[in-house]
């Protein structure tokens, strides 16, 4: 595959002289973009880990959306994904899209579905359907997508819901690697190498990176590339801009969450207040009803007493007349 961008970097061990905190985030999406475009070996190893294959099976790889590193990225461009064509065993070619996603934006799931469907549609357009290569979206996420069932690796394909073992097709696939759930990684995730990359992207100090590099020579080359890229002033400025954007989005989301929580609290307080007033109104009504009932009973008793008294008078009057008649 012909490449019109720089895709290899020489190793430089000077990075190991650094100590303390990094001064930047390893999961910075601009750094992720720059690294995978500039260091093809790292790109191959990450893709091989995600695909669960031996890196030697990847014959060639091409970044189809290279950028001029250091150039300003539009602030509106929230997703700096790396689009690739991967040629592996038996001349198979698969379109693989990689991205680093730090914040879950509204509609993120729908966006990922839209991407793979649109990419697959462009592949089959004008070609035989059976010959279309697959599209695979691989996202490193610094958030838990489904909090009710957290996992380190989540892999989605079209399947038969009546029998999940039956795959309809694997030509449309979405995989999410949760950087916040490394402790949930399975033995298979560890064997594939995904855990190593997740630990790399979550590292915060040079000591952590040195430890990872001592365990894995591929990581040594990767961190060398990261260090060299971070020394480029223009690239570093773009990394800082992306971190500022990330902070802005996180602050905005946090502010919106607080407003929602505030509104929910106010609504709950109003509901409680309304319920309290309703209870008081019911109590007052019940009290009035009891008083009315009591008065009604008393009035009824008084009416009975009055009626009895009147009857008694009438009886006495009749008795009196009878006595008068008897005395004649």
Instruction: Flag whether pLDDT at 99 surpasses 60.
Output: yes
Name every residue whose Cβ is closer than 8 Å to that of residue 186 and which is 6 or more positions away in sequence: 152, 153
The SS3 of residue 105 is coil
For residue 265, name the pLDDT band (cuts at 50, 70, 90): confident
What confidence score (pLDDT) does residue 219 get? 95
Please calculate the CA angle 291-292-297 and round it to the nearest 5 degrees: 95
For residue 76, name the pLDDT band (cuts at 50, 70, 90): very low
For residue 227, name the pLDDT band (cuts at 50, 70, 90): very high
Pick 85 or 304 by higher pLDDT. Answer: 85
Q: Extract the tokens encoding 223.
A: 């961190």
What confidence score (pLDDT) does residue 216 get? 93
For residue 192, name the pLDDT band (cuts at 50, 70, 90): very high
Q: With 0-12 CB in 10 A as exposed, 13-18 as middle and 19+ as buried, what is 51?
A: buried
Q: Extract the tokens encoding 189.
A: 């995730």
**Quick one: which H or E segment has residue 166?**
strand 163-178
For residue 243, name the pLDDT band (cuts at 50, 70, 90): confident
Token match 């630990």: residue? 199
Instruction: Flag whether pLDDT at 222 surpasses 70.
Output: yes
Pick 180 or 297 by higher pLDDT. Answer: 180
Pick 268 or 231 by higher pLDDT. Answer: 231
Q: What is the mean pLDDT of residues 184-207?
A: 95
For residue 90, name the pLDDT band (cuts at 50, 70, 90): low
| pLDDT tens, position by position, 139-178 | 999 999 898 999 999 999 999 989 988 999 888 999 999 9
**Phi, psi of 42, rounded to the nearest 5 degrees:** -60, -45
CB 134 within 8 A of CB 173: yes
Q: Extract the tokens encoding 94.
A: 């698969």
Dist. CA 188–CA 165, nearest whole Å = 18
Dist. CA 130–CA 153, nearest whole Å = 29
For residue 286, name the pLDDT band (cuts at 50, 70, 90): confident
Q: What is the mean pLDDT of residues 95-117?
A: 86
What confidence score (pLDDT) does residue 119 get? 82
Radius of gyration over every alpha carbon of the chain, rounded to an integer in angstroms:
39
Q: What is the mean pLDDT of residues 192-216?
A: 95
**Quick one: which H or E segment has residue 102?**
none
Instruction: Flag whether pLDDT at 91 surpasses 70.
Output: no
Instruction: Flag whether pLDDT at 46 surpasses 60.
Output: yes
What confidence score (pLDDT) does residue 139 get? 94
Dist. CA 131–CA 152, nearest whole Å = 33
What confidence score (pLDDT) does residue 130 get? 66
Q: In 3D, which of 201, 202, 113, 189 has the Cα closest to residue 151?
A: 189
């Amino acid at each position: 595959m012909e490449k019109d961008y720089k895709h290899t970097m020489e190793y430089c061990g000077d990075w190991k002289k650094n100590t303390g905190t990094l001064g930047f985030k390893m999961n910075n999406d601009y750094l992720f973009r720059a690294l995978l475009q500039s260091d093809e070996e790292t790109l191959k190893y990450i893709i091989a880990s995600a695909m669960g294959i031996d890196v030697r099976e990847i014959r060639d790889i091409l970044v189809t959306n290279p950028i001029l590193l250091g150039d300003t990225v539009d602030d509106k461009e929230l997703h700096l994904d790396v689009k690739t064509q991967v040629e592996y065993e038996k001349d198979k070619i698969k379109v693989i899209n990689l991205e680093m996603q730090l914040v879950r934006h509204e509609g993120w799931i729908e966006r990922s579905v839209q991407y793979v469907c649109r990419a697959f549609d462009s592949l089959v357009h004008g070609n035989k359907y059976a010959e279309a290569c697959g599209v695979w979206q691989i996202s490193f996420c610094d958030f838990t997508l489904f909090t009710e069932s957290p996992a380190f690796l989540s892999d989605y394909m079209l399947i038969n819901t009546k029998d999940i073992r039956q795959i309809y097709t694997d030509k449309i696939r979405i995989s999410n690697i949760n950087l916040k759930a490394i402790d949930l990684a399975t033995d298979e995730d560890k064997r594939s190498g995904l855990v190593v990359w997740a630990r790399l992207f979550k590292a915060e100090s040079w000591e952590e990176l040195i430890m990872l590099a001592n365990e894995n020579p591929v990581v040594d080359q990767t961190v060398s590339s990261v260090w060299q890229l971070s020394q480029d002033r223009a690239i570093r400025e773009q990394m800082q801009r992306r971190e500022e954007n990330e902070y802005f989005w996180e602050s905005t989301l946090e502010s919106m969450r607080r407003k929602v929580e505030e509104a929910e609290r106010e609504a709950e307080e109003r509901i409680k207040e309304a319920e309290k007033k309703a209870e008081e109104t019911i109590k007052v009504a019940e009290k009035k009803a009891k008083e009315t009932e009591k008065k009604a009973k008393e009035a009824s008793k008084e009416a009975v007493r009055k009626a009895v008294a009147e009857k008694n008078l009438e009886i006495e009057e009749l008795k009196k007349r009878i006595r008068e008649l008897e005395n004649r």
